Amino acid sequence: MSTVLTRREFAACAGASLVAKPVFAQTDTFITRAIPSSGEGVPAVGLGTASIFDVAEEASRVKAKAVIQALVANGGRIIDTASTYGDAEVVVGDEMATSNLREKIFIATKLESPDAAELKRSLSRLKTKSVDLLQLHNVRRPDQSLAQFRAWKAQGTCRYIGVTSTYHRDFPTVEAVLRREKPDFVQIDYSIDFRDSEKRILPLAAEVRAGVLTALPFGRGRLFKAVRGQAIPDWASEFASSWAQFFLKYMLGDTRVTAVIPGTGDPKHMVDNLGAMRGRLPDAAERARMVSFVEAL
């Protein structure tokens, strides 16, 4: 049986050093999803770095080390960052190099434009010759091209290309670019209390065989505020051991989602998040019940 700790229970564990060691049993299985364009499997929970590791000071580096070590030790691989996330690329790159973790991490970053200088800077900061996923950040125009990104992919600078947007007003633009360019990935804002993506982006992503990464799966923290002081419903305890897992498993219950990428600077929370890829996922009826529960808060 999987050992899944809630955030509060994990905090009670003795010794912070436990975080960098496997919390889940080595025999545990976890949910992976296939990248549609290649069939490559990736763990279904990753790590976002926006506003988390954006300052390359000692405190940020210490947090990053603990979180990244917890990610890798407990079955995770995906780390998503961007050229505009302050010094996040520097912090992540330094930890990957110092701990020799590059081969264990699926690294995704984002560029604001198909600019060779921006790409060179990101690769230098990440201390790597190539990344796994290179994304055009926050697409703004329906005519934006991924031709240069495809050229970089052909050159081996990245293995996959994608587009992103967390601006709801730009969803029509995302749809237009996704339909025309057919990238390997699309990254969008999706949470249990913001489900426009289910009707607009997920069906199209499936049609063009694009993997889906979900940013802001906790709704910028508003979901935790909404359930503060409340226990998880008994009917949900069969598949979730914490609120984080409740929120993440809602999205993973849709097989069109490749991975959720919640951000955290706390290794205890990283382990809790990774618990969402253990055990069973809610079925369609349970997902509907989860939505009703959240809407009634």
Q: What is the pLDDT of residues 234-278, one digit of tens each?
A: 999 999 999 999 999 999 999 999 999 999 999 999 999 999 999
In 20-157, beta strands by DSSP E: 32-34, 41-43, 47-48, 78-80, 106-111, 131-136
Q: What pTM does this model have?
A: 0.91
49, two tokens:
């770095």
Q: What is the pLDDT of residues 37-80, one digit of tens each?
A: 999 999 999 999 999 999 999 988 999 999 999 999 999 999 99
Model pLDDT, residue 26: 54
Residue stretches of the chain with pLDDT short of 50: 1-18
How many angstroms separate the Cα of 186 from the Cα of each of 93, 100, 189? 23, 29, 10
Pairing outcome for strands 78-80 and 106-111: parallel
Per-residue pLDDT at 19: 54
259-289 burial string, b = 16+ CB within 10 Å, else e? bbbbbbbbbbbbbbbbbbbbbebbeeebbee
Domains delineated in the chain = 41-295 (3.20.20.100)
Single-letter residue type at 242: S
In this prediction, residue 23 carries a pLDDT of 78
* pLDDT (0 to 100) of residue 22: 81
